[in-house]
Amino acid sequence: MSNIAIVGAGHVGVVYAAGLAELGHRVRVVDVSLKRVAMLRSGRIWFYEPGLPELLARGLARRRIEFTTSYERGLAKARFVFVCVPTPTTAAGSLDDSYLRAALTSIRQNTKPPWPVVVNKSTVPVGTGDVAARLFEGEDMHVVSNPEFLAEGRAVEDFFHPSRIVIGSRNRIAGEAVAALYAPLRAPVVHTDPVTAEFSKLAANAFLATKVSFANVLSRIGESVGADGDGLAKALSLDPRIGAGHLRAGLGFGGSCLPKDLAAVEQLARRYTESSGLFAAVAAVNRAQRARIVDLLVDRFGTVQDRRIAILGATFKANTDDLRDSPALGLACQLAELHASVNVYDPVAAPQLRALAPQLVLFRSALAAVRGADAVVVATEWPEFATIDLLAVRRAMRGSLLVDARGLFDVEAAHRAGLDYFSFSTAGVRPHEAEEPLEAVAS
């Protein structure tokens, strides 16, 4: 069992701390945020991730995990240093590696022989591994690129059952030492160089984003030619060359990874090829999905001004409280800008929403949020929405339009409840079904 340091106590770092402790390692986690470290020491996680509190509690109870703001303490005795700091997108669309540079500098200042292996899990600009290795040149200290593929909302499951482990190292012994840490997980391991490892992460997310936009374009064509989106997705997904994931039409992708990694690949394509249009189109299709909902509501009501729109779900997907680049939140804010009165219910993200978007009116339940609404938009696929009583929804609403932007409901069930129904896979509502203006409704 090894002493492992983790730098960055976030969505990746805490999962790795708890997961590696479960595998028997002793882990020290360093973060610059005193507040986060204080919370984590008492077993409270500053973000929502199913199964993680229990796993962390086990590691803390066994005294295998420690959180600190001190690099000196965190890195003392470490054989491996996992780097899990943020790499947000810059205004120009590339990856901001300033947190990574700061972390590597602190690691450099706080390590001494016997040198640990630095394992980079942050998603970085292609070539960063070699730049980082130069920082430690002269010492017998190796940097291994080990990109992370876990998905929020299922991160614990992904830690213990990864689809693959990618190890990019210029030093065979260092690469194999990192691979040995993962041996109990019995996952396929790809040994390669750092550049290929880094690019494989960006490429995976660019592909997933492309698949989502592909499905969304097909659903639009399907709407026009009368093809059923769900049937189409099923028929495609059974082809093993295509696969099932990320094929459902919906409000589009978001979160902290897909949009920024797609933008980074688009930048690379622009610099080195004539094919950046491919990725630009993927991003444009994604933006258009939100715009389609706004257009649908405007077509329906003439204007959304003073209309009450209930948005169910604000996070970028279910089982996370992550609001970064969330299409659901983006849609809610856009409707508020158009002077709609926007009711929002999200099962876990209310505290962050209150600070981030005070213009939205927050509710404690879906039924409370839809009360008096002219239209309801299901914007995140939280499982609790799929079991909602549609008759109760219809009775609570003022209007009758249900926009199922995540494809949760059956069109027949919605119609039986007296709802006008739209989803990206089933064109149920047409602009000619426009409602009367508000004044007429009131009189």
Ligand X SMILES: NC(=O)c1ccc[n+]([C@@H]2O[C@H](COP(=O)([O-])OP(=O)(O)OC[C@H]3O[C@@H](n4cnc5c(N)ncnc54)[C@H](O)[C@@H]3O)[C@@H](O)[C@H]2O)c1
- Among 22, 49, 148, 374, which residue interacts with ligand X (rule: CB under 6 A)? 148
Does 12 sit near ligand X (CB under 6 A)? yes
Question: In sequence order, what E strands does 117-172 have?
Answer: 117-120, 143-145, 165-168
Query: In the complex, what is the shortest distance from the CB of residue 410 to ligand X, in angstroms, rounded to a whole number?
Result: 31
Query: In the complex, what is the shortest distance from the CB of residue 307 to ligand X, in angstroms, rounded to a whole number?
Result: 35
Does 207 sit near ligand X (CB under 6 A)? no
Computed on alpha carbons and rounded to an integer, the radius of gyration of the chain in Å comes to 24
- Among 4, 20, 84, 215, which residue interacts with ligand X (rule: CB under 6 A)? 84
Query: In the complex, what is the shortest distance from the CB of residue 150 to ligand X, in angstroms, rounded to a whole number?
Result: 5
Nearest CB to ligand X, comparing residues 99 and 207: 99
3-state secondary structure of 407: coil
Does 33 sit near ligand X (CB under 6 A)? yes
Sign of the C-alpha dihedral, residues 373, 375, 381, 383? positive
Nearest CB to ligand X, comparing residues 55 and 296: 55
Does 8 sit near ligand X (CB under 6 A)? yes
| Segment lying near ligand X (by CB under 6 A), choices 6-14, 240-248, 328-336, 370-378 | 6-14
Strands in 401-404's sheet, in edge-to-edge order, are 361-362, 341-345, 308-312, 375-378, 401-404, 420-423
Alpha carbons 341 and 334: distance in angstroms, whole number: 11
Query: In the complex, what is the shortest distance from the CB of residue 314 to ligand X, in angstroms, rounded to a whole number?
Result: 17
Query: In the complex, what is the shortest distance from the CB of residue 67 to ligand X, in angstroms, rounded to a whole number?
Result: 11
Residue of minimal Cβ distance to ligand X: 10
- Among 19, 59, 86, 116, which residue interacts with ligand X (rule: CB under 6 A)? 86
User: For residue 196, what are its two tokens?
Assistant: 């290929």
Active site residue 257: yes
- Among 99, 115, 160, 207, which residue interacts with ligand X (rule: CB under 6 A)? 99
Check residue 286 and report its DSSP letter. H
Query: In the complex, what is the shortest distance from the CB of residue 32 to ligand X, in angstroms, rounded to a whole number?
Result: 4
User: For residue 44, what are its two tokens?
Assistant: 């409270």
> From its phi and psi, is residue 302 left (phi > 0), alpha (psi between -120 and 50) or beta?
left
Distance of CA 187 to the CA centre of its chain: 23
Nearest CB to ligand X, comparing residues 149 and 214: 149
Does 249 sit near ligand X (CB under 6 A)? no
DSSP result, 181-248 = HTGGG---EEEE-HHHHHHHHHHHHHHHHHHHHHHHHHHHHHHHHT--HHHHHHHHHTSTTT-STT-S
Nearest CB to ligand X, comparing residues 141 and 377: 141
Does 102 sit near ligand X (CB under 6 A)? yes
User: For residue 113, what are its two tokens?
Assistant: 């022989």
Does 9 sit near ligand X (CB under 6 A)? yes
Does 68 sit near ligand X (CB under 6 A)? no
User: One of 18, 60, 257, 311 is an active-site residue; which one?
Assistant: 257
Query: In the complex, what is the shortest distance from the CB of residue 222 to ligand X, in angstroms, rounded to a whole number?
Result: 31
Q: How many Cβ atoms sit within 10 Å of the Cβ of residue 192? A: 16
Does 150 sit near ligand X (CB under 6 A)? yes
| Segment lying near ligand X (by CB under 6 A), choices 145-153, 212-220, 227-235, 381-389 | 145-153
What is the distance between the terminal CA atoms of the chain, rounded to a whole angstrom?
Answer: 75
User: Which one, of 206, 107, 110, 123, lies nearest residue 168 by Cα?
Assistant: 123
Alpha carbons 14 and 40: distance in angstroms, whole number: 9
Does 423 sit near ligand X (CB under 6 A)? no
- Among 10, 59, 168, 254, which residue interacts with ligand X (rule: CB under 6 A)? 10
Does 31 sit near ligand X (CB under 6 A)? yes
Alpha carbons 148 and 6: distance in angstroms, whole number: 14
Catalog residues that contact ligand X under the rule CB under 6 A.
7-13, 30-33, 36, 84-87, 99, 102-103, 121-123, 148, 150, 152, 256-257
Active site (catalytic) residues: 257
